[in-house]
Amino acid sequence: MYTTHFLKFPDQDVFDEAMSEAGYKIVTEAQLDEDNNIIFPASVSYSTDAISGPGAIDIIGTIYNSDAVYGEPDAEGMPTLVSPATPIDGYHVNICLRADVSLPEQFGSYVLNPAPSTPSRTFG
């Protein structure tokens, strides 16, 4: 059994810092050959495995309202955009952990409570 935790951070930098503090952030340095040519580029990834065991992290980022306004179709029949959808505040992330595993304390103040009744994305 798994539990999904819906989180909202003020921005991507705060999310990244919390992930690092929780031990969920994995930074891989670039690997170079003897001539300093990049063989494998540096990368950043996120995983629950080392700290909380099997789980999943879904980085959604910005979620948009469904308030975009469209005008008449253009010559190709495509709708024209009058005004774009407005963003919902925050940087959104879903974390799925085994039901017997607690969410790391670094995320406590970012948990949406109550959880969304109609989340933008869910796991399976």
Q: Which segments of the chain does DSSP mark as H helices, in order? A: 12-22, 49-52
102: CB partners within 8 A, 6+ apart? none
pTM: 0.81
Tokens 């059994």 belong to 1
Residue at 102: amino acid letter: S
pLDDT of res. 50: 84
Q: What residue spans define the domains of the chain? A: 2-61+89-110
pLDDT at 113 over 90: yes
